[in-house]
A and B are shown apart, each in its own frame.
Chain A
Amino acid sequence: MSPQFRRRLVVVGHGMVGHRFVQAAIERGLTETHDVVVIGEEPRPAYDRVALTSFFEVGAEALSLLPEGEYDDPRVELVLGTAVEGFDPETRTVLLEDGRVLEYDELVLATGAAPFVPPVPGHELPGCFVYRTIEDLEAIRAAAATATVGAVVGGGLLGLEAANALAQLGLETHVVEMAPRLMAVQVDDAGGATLARHIESLGLTVHTGAVTSEVVAADGRAAGLSLKDAETIPAEVVVFSAGIRPRDALARAAGLDLAERGGVLVDERCRTSDAHVWAIGECAAPAGRMYGLVAPGYAMAEVVVDALLGGPGSFTGADMSTKLKLLGVDVASFGDAHATTEGALELVFADAVAGVYKKLVVSDDGRRLLGGVLVGDATAYGVLRPMVATPTNPGIELPDNPEELILPAGRGGVELGLPDEAQVCSCNDVCKSEIVEAAADGTTTRAGSTCGSCKPVVKKIIEEYFESVGKVVDRSLCEHFPLTRQELFDVVAVHGYRSFDQVVEAHGRGRGCDVCKPAVASVLASLVGGHVLEGPTRVLQDTNDAFLANIQRNGTYSVVPRIPGGEITPEKLIVIGEVARDFGLYTKITGGQRIDLFGARVEELPAIWRRLVDAGFESGHAYGKALRTVKSCVGSTWCRYGVQDSVQLAIDLELRYRGLRSPHKLKGGVSGCARECAEARGKDFGVIATEKGWNLYVGGNGGATPVHARLLAGDLDTETLVRYLDRFLMYYIRTADRLQRTAPWVESLEGGLDRVREVVVEDALGLGSELEAAMARHVDGYRDEWAATLEDPDKLRRFVSFVNAPDVPDPHITFRAEREQSVPGDVAGPVSLGTTVPVGSPR
């Protein structure tokens, strides 16, 4: 078509779907024949409404879908901050609020939806909000600054998002839901109850089956919600999130057909009852049904571009699956979650203690997955959703024991090879083969760019692809080093580097960061040794290592003297008590069988250490990625069941490995018999006494993902035990990733624990004596870091509050009393001392 026949396409609404429409129009060549004018009412270009809540963390710019502010195609014009007032299908004109009139050949309505505010008395009071735009969030944030309690009317997906935001803004938060459960659309009763328990454990209050009858006012502002048959909830911030309504007013005024329950009625090609008017996204109702998710809207946008290009595309319904993290709780619902299909069977796994609820809905023959609900743990979502069978798609046949798909990993769990055509990203309709093709061409797909729930699966597919063609997947430490920690360890060992500068100049770029510097420091500590505050290495250390203590929330530090094996004399206990009393420190027995002294100011640390060191204490390395404690049980000395002296061994091991720097912290334990009172199997290395000697277990930890250590070798004499432990620890230190504890490290090795056994016990690599020698060097080179610091004026220099006023305590640090001890006081904003304090430059 020649230019004089160019046609004009007007798009009303620049939201997520309007934007996607324009993008597709440009990419697919529609702008070759059409000029596009987009009219948006909001003051800014389209942004990621799905991620709206993260506005508080990342700001408006990061959410923008069009950060440049305009399209990279001169035939598209974007008019923002301007609403469309109406259009006339007869004259094919659009009227803008500023009085301008635009002619169109084709009109696309993408006006989205508006939150539904139930017409309860008081809903218009100041203090009442909705949750839809960046401006809404800005207003909520401003109101929250002076409020203490907030309430959200509506316990659906969006209501919980809003509740999350209110809680993040520091408000005591109530959720009021009319239905008997939360997220009534997506999850079933049991799932809703699990979710409610989770949310209440986070300190929010959930009211289900509660009907709001009025917003109570005080001083002309919202002050609370009165509920039918229940107490009034006080709330200065009220957010209505009781569903959405399609914005179909323009179409209604123009006389177009609407769906019974609202929305612009469109056919399979998203055409309205007027042949030149189309509707897409949340304002549209294909076959009478509106879709409150972005993926169907994107599909409609593609369909209309296709139709205008003369293609065959059509919209016949969409996957309403959702996965999200609400207040830190995973929730997913997909397919026929409510088991409405004839003959459908339900498989349920519920763990009330862990707060996990999972349900699969399968066909009557058990071969097809129809849908499901996951609450508390939705890791299986990425694998399950593409398997779902729909009327038009047979899905993927289920394995013989489909329940394994939802059992916790330890009790089965199957890896599923996804077929090429499996849809991985439902937001953007991207299937596995498209992701693989893009990876092969070095391009990317849109998968993962919208709600993000498919990202883990996308990442895995890409990694698998690269591994299958023999390429290495980027596991770089950070932007400064294209190396893993293990590779870094090897280059430092091979070249004999002794400083960060040498390493970064030869193998990195820039000046490093808070990720690579401590990692290089840890590698240098393992290979070179020496004091962590020596010369240039001290600026590589995280603050805890740099001050040989643990930083606390108010900028003070905690001090943990080593108490090997948890055994301590009364005299030493008294010294700890005296030091704590004299310096006003808070004391607490730790979970690691020792005592932590909290609240020391930087400038007090040397004096505290002096007292402790003089009494025979040394650093407990509570701060370092290093050996922490070797926990003991009382063992054969006292216990009537003990078969070996577990205390002696725990002390010996703790003293042997004290100060050993490693990729992550290291903990050990020794129990005197199989009753395991020292919880040794919860440690990186655990020793349990047997009649004949010791059993050695490795790869355990507590924390967020507890793992039990597994048996490496049994019935060892003490000497062999120590030899194996030396090898095991050095092997770990040399090959593990940064911040990888022993359990995931063992998992990551090809061959897992068997491989560790080959190297450590069978010495298959012939590395045994080298690893032992490295450990011997560590043991010989050990010196207490506190004592060494006290002897060195150069290291002590930095332990001052202010370099030019070393005796003036930082006024920012304050304390208050709680249960007869001192704890951090609350200070907001920087504190100025004024100019009255004399300062001078140290000479």
Chain B
Amino acid sequence: MTASPSAGVGVSTYTRVCRLDDIDVEGGVAGLVAGDAVAILRTHDGNVYAISNYDPFSNASVLARGIVGSRSTAEGDVPFVASPMHKQAFDLRTGQCLDDADVRIPTYDVRVLDGEVLVGPPQEH
């Protein structure tokens, strides 16, 4: 089921996944978006991010169950989720693994409209 069109964002390709309130601040939920398992995570500053739920290090679909936090880098604080399996950290904005420059996971576009979380197609970086 897809969201009803509104407010000029190409909503028709977006899946309505849950209400914003369904996601704990600095917590996450797993959603099914066009058949993909997607982790949707919410940060303290009110942002919502969607990344693949699949942790390539452990081969398990678990990232929505990781701990969300921030890591300081040369470019400032990066919001990240640590895999619950072996703790590798992923940048929520880009899917880049912060512990291994060679690993990056897919991210998805997210919109919050009227308290509903909509997840769109995978993003290019």
Asked if A555 is at the interface of the complex by the 8 Å CB criterion, the answer is yes
User: Contact check: which of A536, A546, A805, A830 meets B25 at CB < 8 Å?
Assistant: A536
A804-B15, A832-B35 are contacts. A547–B1 as well, Cβ < 8 Å?
A: no
Give CA–CA (A17, B19) in the complex, Å: 60
Cβ contacts under 8 Å, B11 to chain A: none
Nearest B residue to A556, CB-CB: B60
- Nearest Cβ in chain B — how far from A315, in angstroms? 38
A539 touches B62 (CB 8 A): no
When the two chains form their complex, are residues A538 and B24 in contact, meaning their CB atoms are under 8 A apart? yes
Is the CB–CB distance between B22 and A539 below 8 Å? no
Asked if A547 and B65 sit within 8 Å, CB to CB, the answer is: yes
The chain B residue sitting closest to A56, CB to CB, is B102
Q: How far is the CB of A504 from chain B (nearest CB, A)?
A: 9
Contact in complex: B67, A540 (CB < 8 Å): yes
Residues in B neighbouring A514, C-beta threshold 8 A? 66-67, 69, 82, 87, 89
**Interface of B: prevailing SS:** strand
Q: Is the C-beta of A837 less than 8 angstroms from some C-beta in chain B?
A: yes
Give the nearest-CB partner of A824 in chain B: B60
If the complex has contacts A536-B25, A551-B62, are A513 and B1 also in contact, measured as CB distance less than 8 A?
Answer: no
Q: Are A834 and B101 in contact (CB under 8 A)?
A: no
**How many chain A residues touch B (Cβ–Cβ < 8 Å)?**
57
**A389 to nearest B CB, angstroms?**
44
Asked if A538 and B37 sit within 8 Å, CB to CB, the answer is no
Q: A510 contacts B70, CB within 8 Å?
A: yes
- Docked pose: A312 CA to B17 CA in angstroms: 74
The answer to the question of B48 belonging to the interface, with a C-beta cut-off of 8 Å to chain A, is no
> CA–CA, A173 to B77, complex, Å?
43
Determine the residue in chain B with the shortest Cβ distance to A830.
B54
The yes or no answer to B26 lying at the interface (CB within 8 A) is: yes
Given contacts A538-B24, A546-B65, A833-B32, 13 further A-B contacts (CB under 8 A): A511-B44, A516-B69, A517-B69, A539-B67, A554-B59, A555-B61, A555-B62, A803-B40, A829-B54, A834-B35, A839-B33, A841-B1, A842-B22
In the bound complex, how far is the Cα of B57 from the Cα of A828, in angstroms? Answer: 10
Fill in one digit per residue for B95-117: 1 if any A CB lies within 8 Å of its CB, else 0: 00000111000000000000010
In angstroms, Cα B61 to Cα A829, docked, is 9
B-contacting residues, A702-757, CB 8 Å: none
Task: Kindly specify which of A300-308, A424-432, A808-816 makes contact with the partner chain.
Answer: A808-816
Kindly list chain B residues whose C-beta atoms are within 8 Å of the C-beta of A840: 1, 16
Is the CB of B6 closer than 8 A to any CB of chain A?
no
Most buried by A among B36, B52, B116: B36
B43, B52, B71 interface centre (most CB from chain A within 10 Å) = B71
A69 at interface by CB-CB < 8 Å: no
Q: Is the CB of A812 within 8 A of B15?
A: no
A93 within 8 A of B: no
Whether B79 and A827, one on each chain, are in contact in the complex, defined by CB atoms closer than 8 angstroms, is no
Q: Are B26 and A511 in contact (CB under 8 A)?
A: yes
Nearest first, the 9 A-B pairs at minimum CB distance are A543-B84, A514-B82, A830-B54, A555-B60, A812-B61, A511-B70, A513-B69, A833-B35, A510-B70
Residues of A contacting B: mostly: loop
B interface residues, Cβ below 8 angstroms from A: 1, 15-19, 22, 24-27, 29-37, 40, 43-44, 52-54, 58-62, 65-72, 77, 79-80, 82, 84-85, 87, 89, 100-102, 116
Residue in B25, B82, B101 whose beta carbon sits within 8 Å of that of A539 in the complex:
B25
Contact A841 B17 (CB under 8 A): yes
A551, A804, A811: which has the most chain B beta carbons within 10 Å?
A804
State how many angstroms separate the Cβ of B96 from the closest Cβ of chain A: 12
Shortest CB distance B2–A (Å): 10
The CA-CA distance from A555 to B77 in the complex, in Å, is 29
Q: Are B101 and A803 in contact (CB under 8 A)?
A: no
* Also in contact, A803 and B31, with CB within 8 A (given A812-B60, A830-B37, A841-B18): yes
9 A-B Cβ contacts within 8 A?
Answer: A480-B69, A511-B69, A514-B67, A539-B26, A553-B60, A805-B31, A811-B37, A827-B59, A833-B32
Chain B contacts for A518, CB-based, 8 A: 67
A 792-843 contacts with B by CB, 8 A: 797-798, 801-805, 808, 810-813, 827-842
Among B26, B36, B37, max chain A CB count under 10 A is at B37
List A contacts of B116 (CB < 8 A). Answer: 841
CB atoms of B36 and A832 under 8 A apart: yes
Chain A residues near B (Cβ < 8 Å): 57-59, 61-62, 479-480, 509-514, 516-518, 536, 538-543, 546-547, 551, 553-555, 797-798, 801-805, 808, 810-813, 827-842
Which residue of A797, A802, A832, A836 contacts B31 across the interface (Cβ within 8 Å)? A802
- In the complex, A59→B103 CA distance in Å? 10
- Are B100 and A810 in contact, with the CB atoms below 8 A? no
Known: A510-B69, A813-B61. A551 touches B84 (CB 8 A): yes
- Residues on the A chain within 8 Å of B34, using CB: 835
The interface residues of chain B lying within 8 Å CB-to-CB of A509 are 72
In the complex, which residue of chain B has the Cβ closest to the Cβ of A554?
B60
Q: When chains A and B are docked, how far (Å) is the Cα of A831 from the Cα of B36?
A: 7
Set B24, B71, B101: member contacting A513, Cβ < 8 A: B71
* A801 to B33 Cα, complex, angstroms: 13
Report how far A516 CA is from B71 CA in the complex, Å. Answer: 12
Chain B residue nearest to A57 (CB atoms) is B100
Contact in complex: A539, B32 (CB < 8 Å): no
Contact in complex: A803, B29 (CB < 8 Å): yes
Which of B18, B58, B62 is within 8 Å of A804, CB to CB? Answer: B18
Asked if residues A835 and B35 are in contact (CB atoms below 8 Å), the reply is yes
Residues of A within 8 A of B43 (CB): 511
Give the residues in chain A near B29, CB-CB below 8 Å.
798, 803
Q: How far is the CA of A554 from the CA of B55 in the complex (A)?
A: 11
- CB neighbours (8 Å) of A812 from chain B are 37, 54, 60-61
A62 to B, closest residue via Cβ: B101
Chain B residue with Cβ nearest A834: B35
In whole angstroms, how far apart are the Cα atoms of A512 and B66 in the complex? 13
With known contacts A510-B69, A539-B24, A839-B15, A804–B32 Cβ distance under 8 A: yes
**Residues of B contacting A827 with CB < 8 Å?**
59
**Chain A contacts for B71, CB-based, 8 A:** 479, 510, 513
> How near does chain A come to B114, taking the closest CB pair, in angstroms?
12
| A-side contacts of B58, CB under 8 Å | 553
Verify B31–A512 contact, CB threshold 8 A. Answer: no
Which of B26, B32, B101 has the most chain A CB within a 10 Å cutoff? B32
Q: Using Cβ atoms and an 8 Å threshold, which residues of chain A touch B32?
A: 802, 804-805, 808, 833, 837, 839
Q: Which A residues are CB-close (under 8 A) to B102?
A: 59
B18 and A803 contacting across the interface, CB-CB below 8 Å: yes
Verify A841–B26 contact, CB threshold 8 A.
no
User: Are A543 and B30 in contact, with the CB atoms below 8 A?
Assistant: no
Q: Do residues A830 and B22 form an inter-chain contact, with CB atoms below 8 A?
A: no
CB A251 to nearest CB in B, in angstroms, measures 38
Say whether A797 contacts B22, CB under 8 Å: yes
Evaluate whether A513 and B35 lie within 8 angstroms (CB atoms) in the complex, with A827-B59, A838-B1 already known.
no
Chain B contacts of A539 at CB under 8 A?
A: 24-27, 67-68
Chain B nearest CB: distance from A193 CB in Å?
35
Contacts of B70 in A (CB 8 A): 480, 510-513
Residues of A within 8 A of B22 (CB): 797, 803, 842
Q: How many Å lie between the Cα of A62 and that of B1 in the bound state?
A: 45
- B17 near A804: Cβ-Cβ < 8 Å: yes
> Considering only CB atoms, which chain A residue lies closest to B36 in the complex?
A832
Cα distance A831–B70 when bound, in Å? 29
B18, closest chain A residue (CB): A803
Inter-chain contact B17/A803, CB cutoff 8 Å: yes
Q: Is the CB of A511 within 8 A of B67?
A: no
Known A802-B30, A804-B16; contact A830-B52, beta-carbon cutoff 8 A? yes
